[in-house]
């Protein structure tokens, strides 16, 4: 089982300045990270130009120079001016055909990026496709990064075909589903398994066969101590969600607990439990922690380091985890 880091934003908001630097690389080296997840964001640009591609290519090169594998995250932010109303337009769940112009633009951008970064062997398609904040009726969802299963299934099918056409040995995983027990209940739906089942029901067997892994984001017991039983239950739900994927790995491409408000000791203990329980499960290919360091401006304190790069207790715990 590989250990890694899910990176936050690596370019400034206007994408003109690289904000991922030597101190981040030093931390990754000290942590012994084997893989990082890198989100490719178009930002305010109207299209992907060579200058922007080169900025990301420089980061990829520096990571690979350390022997770190890169996961290219293709979120909704690879498209100019992404709006949820556009990417969910014409969904079949509410009477549509399941396709729209946004999907066409997304597939075009994904294809361009796969061709530009042929050195990236791992690709994650979308980020938390099941995450929503409003659910006013049985077939209506909105907020966060939710994309209807009918839209996502078609998008996933087309992107897999394009990436495989560019690099046959590319390893493609489904977008990490948001797994939580907010409110206290862990169910197949809150684990993301219900969403995956809905997507899988619309996928051809051949498409499922080309998926190398199921992506998963673990945010269980976020206000306290991680119960390993909850993690095992969630992994079981996910493993059974997609027929034909039962023997393929689950890749946890994002997981973490914030400190503060949690005590540093609790964050460190949860990290230790996360990795040990994932290893014991036997079906987890990688675990990526979110983030390297805290981002106070965004109110994110998931980091293994504080904002000034001083190490938390969880940093030492991560570093002690043996590489596979």
Average pLDDT estimate for 51-68: 97
Average pLDDT estimate for 77-102: 98
Kindly report the CA angle at 191 between 189 and 193, in degrees rounded to 5? 60
pLDDT digits (tens, 9 = 90+) for 239-252: 999 998 988 999 99
pLDDT digits (tens, 9 = 90+) for 140-173: 999 999 999 999 999 999 999 999 998 889 999 9
Domains located in the chain, CATH noted = 2-320 (3.20.20.80)
Selection from 221, 218, 216 nearest residue 242 by Cα: 216
pLDDT band at 182 (very low <50, low <70, confident <90, very high): very high
Return d(Cα 57, Cα 44) in angstroms, integer.
19
User: With 90 as the cut, is the pLDDT of residue 323 above it?
Assistant: no
User: With 80 as the cut, is the pLDDT of residue 254 above it?
Assistant: yes
Average pLDDT estimate for 69-94: 98
User: With 90 as the cut, is the pLDDT of residue 256 above it?
Assistant: yes
Return d(Cα 57, Cα 100) in angstroms, integer.
30
Q: Which residues of 27-65 are buried (b: 16+ CB within 10 A; e: fewer)?
A: bbeebebbbbbbbbbbeeeeebeeebeebbeebbebbee
Q: What is the mean pLDDT of the chain?
A: 96
CB atoms within 10 A of CB 107: 18
Burial of 84 (0-12, 13-18, 19+ CB in 10 A): middle
Selection from 129, 132, 228, 142 nearest residue 173 by Cα: 129
Tell me how far CA of residue 137 lies from CA of 94, 102, 161, in angstroms. Answer: 11, 24, 34
| DSSP code per residue over 55-93 | HHHHHHHHHHHTT-EEEEEE-GGGSSS--HHHHTTT-GG
User: With 80 as the cut, is the pLDDT of residue 296 above it?
Assistant: yes
User: With 90 as the cut, is the pLDDT of residue 324 above it?
Assistant: no
For residue 76, report the phi and psi dihedrals to the nearest 5 degrees. -65, -15
For residue 213, report the phi and psi dihedrals to the nearest 5 degrees. -160, 160
Its pTM stands at 0.96
Average pLDDT estimate for 282-309: 97
């Amino acid at each position: 089982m590989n250990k890694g880091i899910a990176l936050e934003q690596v370019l400034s908001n206007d994408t003109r300045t690289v904000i991922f630097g030597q101190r981040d690389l030093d931390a990754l080296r000290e942590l012994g990270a084997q893989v990082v997840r890198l989100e490719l964001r178009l930002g305010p640009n109207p299209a992907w130009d060579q200058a922007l591609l080169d900025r990301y290519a420089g980061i990829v090169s520096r990571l690979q120079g350390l022997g770190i594998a890169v996961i290219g995250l293709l979120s909704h932010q690879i498209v100019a001016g992404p709006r949820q109303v556009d990417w969910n337009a014409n969904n079949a769940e509410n009477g549509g055909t399941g396709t729209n112009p946004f999907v066409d633009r997304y597939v075009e951008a994904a294809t361009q990026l796969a061709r530009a970064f042929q050195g990236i062997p791992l690709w994650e398609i979308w980020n938390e496709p099941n995450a929503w904040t409003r659910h006013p009726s049985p077939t209506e969802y909105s907020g966060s990064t939710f994309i209807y299963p009918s839209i996502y299934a078609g998008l996933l099918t087309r992107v897999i075909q394009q990436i495989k056409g560019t690099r046959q040995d590319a390893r493609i995983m489904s977008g990490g589903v948001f797994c939580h027990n907010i409110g206290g209940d862990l169910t197949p739906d809150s684990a993301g398994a219900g969403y995956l089942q809905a997507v899988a029901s619309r996928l051809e067997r051949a498409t499922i066969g080309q998926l190398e892994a199921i992506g998963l984001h673990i945010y269980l017991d976020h206000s306290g101590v991680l119960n390993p039983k909850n993690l095992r239950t969630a992994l079981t739900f996910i493993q059974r969600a997609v027929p034909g994927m039962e023997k393929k790995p689950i890749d946890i491409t994002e997981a973490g607990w914030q400190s503060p408000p949690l005590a540093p000791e609790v964050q460190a203990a949860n990290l230790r439990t996360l990795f040990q329980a994932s290893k014991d499960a036997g079906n987890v290919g990688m675990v990526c922690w979110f983030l390297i360091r805290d981002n106070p401006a965004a109110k994110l304190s998931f980091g293994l380091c504080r904002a000034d790069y001083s190490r938390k207790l969880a940093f030492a715990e991560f570093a002690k985890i043996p590489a596979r």
